Amino acid sequence: MKKWLAVLLLAPGLAFAAGSNHPLDDVDIDLTDKASLQNGAKIFMNYCLGCHQMQYQRYQRTFTDLDIPEDLGVQYLQFTGEKVSDYITTPMPAEDAAGWFGAPPPDLTLVARVRGPEWLYTYLRTFYADDSKTFGVNNLVFPNVGMPHVLESLQGTPRKVYREKMVDGQMQATEVFDLEVTGGSMSPEEYDATIRDLVNFLEYTGEPTRLKSEAIGRGVLIFLVIFFVFAYLLKKEYWRDIK
């Protein structure tokens, strides 16, 4: 598995200022899909961890929650020489990253909670070639984003589509928000599925206890319903004696 050096998913100083009216695509988030979460973890460790980190998520917690045997997790998903009990941190020094990219790459532990899974899913699928930018790419969801398209080897090279139409009596090339993709080791369907798995994993790290919390919540509601029935019957019994 090839490990890339960079994924600047969000430039910290610009992340919340940038905006776009590009529509967001729906994504099927399923935190019970362990195969999807495992593949998402693999994609993150191989393509994102070179720059980004998850300073609030431990390797061991990840392996346990995702049903990854610890020995396999250490062998295939740990590349920075850390202990399995350590947090998931990047080997890139923050000072060097700030010099190379203008700002240190942000921590991604909570990015899905901040941005939302639909935003991430659409963002990671809408890079396109733009020679005017430092890294040669731009993004439909995050215009002028300062990051390379490090998943280009998987997706291919997306290019904006231009169509001609009549404007004031003259034919002009008009930009449309549609992308043509050439090259890449994956088909469009395979790439979309891969990004879905990555976003699913990021959604998990944003709240690792979500499934457990939901289970506890359902248990509490069931208890309250049962308690209400007994409380109501007890109340009727007391009032029968009073009357």
Average pLDDT for runs of 10 along the chain of length 243: 40 45 92 97 93 91 96 90 90 72 82 94 93 90 88 90 70 64 89 97 94 88 91 82 68
Secondary structure letter of residue 242 according to DSSP: H
Query: What is d(CA 110, CA 113) in angstroms, rounded to the nearest whole number?
Result: 5
Write the DSSP string, 97-123: HHHHHSSPPPP-TTHHHHH-HHHHHHH
pTM over 0.85: no
> Per DSSP, what are the bridge partners of residue 176?
161
- CA angle 145/137/150 to nearest 5° reads 90
Write the DSSP string, 121-183: HHHTT-EEE-TTSTTSEEESSSTT--S--TTHHHH-EEEEEEEEEEETTEEEEEEEEEEEEE-
| pLDDT for the residue 184 | 87
Query: What is d(CA 102, CA 70) in angstroms, rounded to the nearest whole number?
Result: 37
| pLDDT for the residue 226 | 93
| pLDDT for the residue 11 | 38
Which residue ranges make up each domain of the chain? 34-146+186-208, 215-243
| pLDDT for the residue 233 | 85
Could you tell me which CATH number the domain at 34-146+186-208 has? Answer: 1.10.760.10
Q: Is 216 exposed, middle or buried (0-12, 13-18, 19+ CB in 10 A)?
A: exposed
